[in-house]
Structures are given as C-alpha cells and as structure tokens.
Structure 1
C-alpha cells in the first residue's frame, strides 16, 4: 500500500520507512552538527538502494536538514560566519575533485568497494578517537582534583603563515588550516555521500580549538553549501540522483533537524562528543560486518560500472 518505485535506483521501498529515516537522520543532524550521511548512506544500501545512487541521492536530504539545523543554531548565535566561509571555500574545491574521482571509480567498477572501505576506516578511526577523549574527560571530572586539559594542542600546522583572527571563535590561526580541512571533507562528501560533520566537528574542536556548540553550528553552515554543490555535480556528471527518494528523505529531515537542535542545546559538550562517537562506532561496526560477511548471491552478472 505504501510502496514506491524509485526510477533511478530501480527498487521499491516503503514510503513510511523513508520518512522515518529522514526524521531520525535530521534529528541527529540538528543535535550533533553532522549531515547524517554516514548513517543514511549505509542504511539506504541496506534497503537495496545501489551504493552509487545512495551516495548521490541523500545529499539533498543532508542539504535540507542541515539548512534547517543551521537556522536553529544561528538563532542561538552558534555560527562563526568567517570560519564557515573559509571552510566552505575549501569544501567547494574538494567536492569538485571528489565528484571527478567518483565518476572515475564508477567507470572502472570499483566505487562500491571504495565506498565500503572508506566508511569502515574513517568511521572506526573517528569514533574511537571521540570516545577515548570523552571517556578521559568524564573520568577526569570525577576526580577529587580534576586536571584542566585543553581540547586542542598546538601542532606544526599552527605555525603556518597567513594567520587571521576569528573573533567569534576567539582564535588566531592560519587561514590554511580551515581551508585544508574543508578541502579534505569536500572530497569525502562527494565520494561517500556524507555531510562530513562527523569529521568536520571533531577537527574543528580538536585541531582548530573551537567551542563545541560553535563548531556544530558552523559545521552545518559548511555542509549546506558543499552538499548543494555536490548534488548539482552528481546530477550533471553521474545522473545518479533519484528525485522521489530525495524528496521523501528531505521532508523527514527538515522536521527532525529542528527537534535535534533543541535537544543538543540542553546537553553538555562532553556528552555530545561521547554520544556522537558511540553512534559513529556503531555504524562502522555494521559496515565492517557487511564487508566481510558472505553474500547471499555468490555470483552475479552485471555491466561494468553499472
């Protein structure tokens, strides 16, 4: 009764499931400042959507939920526009490079494997780092004489030239740092179909030294523009954007983002980082299991790059 045939993905899916999925991912987007693609893409693949279509199609949902979440954080004064603009500039360049790599890998028939391996490696690494930091911070606060620890250290990268002052974030760092971070995340957005927030938020907190809530709001600002560019490029270059699927995910995502932003504002920074790390690890575990599990169909016949 509620089944819908997706013309680009060439599969039938339940409308209510897609709306619910968009709502959940939108909620997480507003709460943690992540686009939610790291959760949406593996889930869509689980429901039978081809990886190439899943990567390209959920980008509009990320755009809508991130824009909704950004507005909620903007009203709470949690967006550094200067930092966001520089991150976005690097992200736009990175997304162009990423779409080109995506098309190349698809032509040689390796895009599904690359998507799975990249998800497993990045999610596992980022989730482990975030959980370790959050656990250390919680244990430290429970001691009789807790040590004061800085969220970020000064690395060699902090000695780069072209330093500018980010008054909102109270930072004085090289403009090259956010540019490089934005570039790297932009490439991943195009290849993995993610918003990039699960990488961008920790990088902004631990490498740049931004406050957690400000990093979340600014991350959503970056995600809005980079995913918009990625969606357009995928539609033009790869023709893998399924419009009906994108619309259903977007409806749920916009509603969920507003709810998530309100909940996130009530949690402590260390709690937000810990919950995000735990969720990232859970998704990484699911991706790894799918990669090593014996497939139901050991053999299949298909056209190279399809």
Structure 2
C-alpha cells in the first residue's frame, strides 16, 4: 500500500511505516521510553530524509505522551513546579536548536550532524545501560545482592545558587539545574526528534536525586510541551513536519504500546534493560557505518 508523503516528497509503503510505529510503541510499552530515539534512525534507514524524520518523530512523540501525562496526573505523579522549569528550559532549547539547524542547513551538513549525534548519544547511553544490566544479571546469577543506588544530589547540583523547594520531588536545589537540563533536551528534541525521556529520567534520578514516584510523570509532562514547541518550530522554520508520516507512526505506536506493556509484565527487568541496550547499540553501530561507508557509485540518477 503505497502512500505519498508530501513533505518528504516520496512514496512509501504505508504498512511498513505503521509497523515502524508499532515497533517503537512496543519498545515504549516494554521499556518505559518514548521511542523517538529509535523512530528517527529507523525512518532514516528506510529512506526518509533525516530532517523530515526528526521533525515528524517529534510530532509523533507529542501524541504518544498525552495519555501518559493524564495517567500520571490522576495518581499524583507529576511535580508541576519542576515540570514548569523543565518546560521553560526546553522551550529555550528548541529556539537554540532551530538556530543550530539553520546554521547546519546553511553549511549543508544537517543530515551528517543528526546522524553523528545519534551515534554519540545512543552509543554512550547504550554502553552504560548494557554495563549496568550485565552487572545486575551477573549478580542475580551468582546469588549476590545488587547494591542499590543512593538517592542524593550530585555535587555540581548541590553547589548551584538560588535554591528552591520542590516539595513534590523532595528536593531543595537551584532551579538552574532543571533549567539547563530542559534546555539540553530541547536542543536534542529539535535536532533529533527525540522526546528526551531516556536522558531526563536518569539525570533526575541519579544526579538530581529526585523522588522516583514523580520522575516518569514529570518527564512526560516536559516531553509533551517541549515536543509541541519543537513541532511548531519545525513547522515555522524547516517546514519538515510531514503530517501524513506522523499520523501513520502514531497509529502504529498507540497499538504497539499496549502489546509492549503486556510483554513487560512477563519478562524480568534486567533482561528488558539488556535487550534495550543491545538494540540501542546496534542502531548506533548501523548509524556509524552509514557515516563511514563509501558506496560504489557516489552519484546516481534514478526516477522519483
């Protein structure tokens, strides 16, 4: 079933795009991540231009985050003050990301920069996740207890000035820390089309020392508004949001997330983390090969 994508200016198999959305939805339901960090590279592998893939993935993450925010709001799992600071930083970050995209477009290096960022980010995060999951699996196999991480502020966070009390999160830290984190994820969302949850959650847990009960809900709250801002920024600047592509991805991800949540209840958490780490590392390796591989024919002429 061929479907024409007006912004990407090419025809794709609609079932394949829905399947890609379903795959990222399954990963989202199984691992608790937005899936945007895998949606974009998978679309690039399929032949979607990187700029269109990143912009459309951001709009898909927006739709996928809405139900999650409502669910966590009902159970009181959102720190709105922390979320507001993160959103403020994220909106600033999307503006900075738009400026960077304009610069990279002027240099003609946008696609290369996006691919390089994925290699660095996915490679580093995948390695850390794989090491932690391997340690947990090894300890479990040997019957040794896994040392729990202590909940504390990182010294860099503790030394920042102008502290605020974030009662819901149980924190007394400077708002500069979540503001900078929000700016970073805003830039990444604009450049890469990711939701940023796989960056936000570890930082809020292990660097901010945030209460685990509100981490996921607050992360989704920030992701929702920042991806909205990123989508609007893309629509106004790069004009790379393909609504047809986003709609097909969203259809697949909504159904896939339900299956992923079902599977997550039947697989041990350590094996889930290791599986996700392997997937992330494989995507990073594939992106690295794409950056370095030299085709036999550099230039080719083919019918559109």
TM-score normalized by the length of structure 1: 0.86
Q: Once the 2 structures are TM-superposed, how far is the Cα of residue 170 of structure 1 from its aligned partner?
A: 2.2
Structure 2 match to 1:210? 210
Counterparts of 1:50 and 1:137, CA distance in 2: 39
Counterparts of 1:272 and 1:154, CA distance in 2: 27
1:165 partner SS: strand
1:208 partner SS: coil
Matches within 5 A, 1:67-106: 67-106=66-105
Counterparts of 1:11 and 1:252, CA distance in 2: 20
Structure 1 match to 2:168? 168
Structure 2 match to 1:44? 43
The answer as to whether partners of 1:79 and 1:215 remain within 8 angstroms in 2 is yes
RMSD: 2.7
Counterparts of 2:247 and 2:73, CA distance in 1: 25
Moved more, 250-259 or 237-246: 250-259
Q: Deviation string for 1:168-193 (max 9, x for gaps)? A: 33222221111111111101110112
Q: Once the 2 structures are TM-superposed, how far is the Cα of residue 217 of structure 1 from its aligned partner?
A: 2.5
Structure 1 match to 2:109? 110
2:169 partner SS: coil
The answer as to whether partners of 1:34 and 1:201 remain within 8 angstroms in 2 is no
Structure 1 match to 2:283? 283
Q: Once the 2 structures are TM-superposed, how far is the Cα of residue 57 of structure 1 from its aligned partner?
A: 1.6
2:19 partner SS: helix
Moved more, 206-215 or 96-105: 206-215
**Pair 1:206–1:163, CA change in 2 (3 A):** same
Structure 2 match to 1:136? 135
Q: Once the 2 structures are TM-superposed, how far is the Cα of residue 47 of structure 1 from its aligned partner?
A: 1.3
2:11 partner SS: strand
Counterparts of 2:269 and 2:178, CA distance in 1: 21
Structure 2 match to 1:186? 186
**Pair 1:297–1:84, CA change in 2 (3 A):** farther
Q: Once the 2 structures are TM-superposed, how far is the Cα of residue 261 of structure 1 from its aligned partner?
A: 5.3
Counterparts of 1:277 and 1:152, CA distance in 2: 25
Counterparts of 2:189 and 2:182, CA distance in 1: 10
The answer as to whether partners of 1:169 and 1:210 remain within 8 angstroms in 2 is yes
Counterparts of 1:163 and 1:49, CA distance in 2: 45
Structure 1, gaps ≥5 residues long: 302-306
Counterparts of 1:186 and 1:250, CA distance in 2: 21
Structure 2, gaps ≥5 residues long: none
Q: Deviation string for 1:266-294 (max 9, x for gaps)? A: 87776665554333223212211222223
Counterparts of 2:219 and 2:155, CA distance in 1: 22
**Pair 1:42–1:145, CA change in 2 (3 A):** closer
2:168 partner SS: coil
Counterparts of 1:224 and 1:120, CA distance in 2: 25
The answer as to whether partners of 1:37 and 1:195 remain within 8 angstroms in 2 is yes
**Pair 1:214–1:233, CA change in 2 (3 A):** same
The answer as to whether partners of 2:170 and 2:211 remain within 8 angstroms in 1 is no
Q: Once the 2 structures are TM-superposed, how far is the Cα of residue 128 of structure 1 from its aligned partner?
A: 1.4
Matches within 5 A, 1:15-30: 15-30=14-29
Counterparts of 1:146 and 1:59, CA distance in 2: 36
The answer as to whether partners of 1:73 and 1:79 remain within 8 angstroms in 2 is yes
